[in-house]
């Protein structure tokens, strides 16, 4: 698998954004997975993509300066910036009960404390999966 970034133009409208891909993109779009893209309000932004070696060879033949090969490290830096890990509620009931006890000044059990620790796997409050290009490639 190959990792690359493609620069895309964005046309921003009040209720939507149109993406303008390179003219030849239709030749490969079915064989490329876009796994993260920049969204910082600029007109030209990047998208991290993965594809097979044979698709990569056909992309290289386009000699397009909007395409840049990326390393695993580069892809992870950009992917983690564009798709940051966030805290999420994984068990609303457990999270609420622990927070009620905290707000009342009551002592939490170890399970309740774990439920509101986003770094602990106990259901309650957790984190989204960290962007990892190697994990994405393994799933392909």
Q: Note whether 69 and 106 are same-domain residues.
A: no
User: What is the phi/psi pair of residue 30, to 5°?
Assistant: -70, -15
pLDDT digits (tens, 9 = 90+) for 19-45: 999 999 999 999 999 999 999 889 999
pLDDT digits (tens, 9 = 90+) for 52-80: 999 999 999 999 999 999 999 999 999 99
The overall pTM is greater than 0.85: no
Using CB atoms within 10 Å of the CB of residue 93, give its burial: 0 to 12 exposed, 13 to 18 middle, 19+ buried. Answer: exposed
Q: Note whether 107 and 71 are same-domain residues.
A: no
Q: Note whether 75 and 91 are same-domain residues.
A: no
Q: Note whether 37 and 64 are same-domain residues.
A: yes
Q: Note whether 47 and 76 are same-domain residues.
A: yes
Distance between first and last Cα of the chain: 9
Q: Which domain holds residue 122?
A: 87-127
Residue 72 to residue 78: CA distance in whole angstroms? 10
Measured between alpha carbons, how far is residue 26 from residues 6, 17, 36, 57, 65 in Å?
14, 19, 19, 16, 17
Query: Looking at the domain assignment, is residue 140 inside a domain?
Result: no
Query: Looking at the domain assignment, is residue 96 inside a domain?
Result: yes
CATH number at residue 42: 3.30.70
């Amino acid at each position: 698998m190959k990792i690359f970034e493609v620069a895309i133009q964005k046309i921003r409208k009040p209720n939507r954004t149109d993406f303008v891909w390179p003219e030849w993109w239709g030749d490969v779009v079915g064989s490329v997975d876009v796994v993260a893209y920049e969204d910082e309000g600029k007109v030209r932004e990047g998208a991290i993509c993965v594809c097979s070696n044979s698709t990569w060879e056909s992309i290289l033949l386009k000699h397009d300066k909007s395409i840049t090969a990326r390393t695993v490290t580069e892809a992870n830096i950009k992917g983690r910036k564009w798709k940051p890990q966030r805290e999420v509620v994984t068990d609303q009931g457990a999270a609420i009960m622990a927070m009620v006890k905290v707000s009342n000044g009551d002592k939490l059990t170890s399970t309740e404390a774990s439920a509101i620790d986003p770094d602990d796997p106990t259901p309650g409050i957790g984190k989204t999966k960290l962007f990892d290009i190697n994990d994405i490639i393994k799933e392909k």
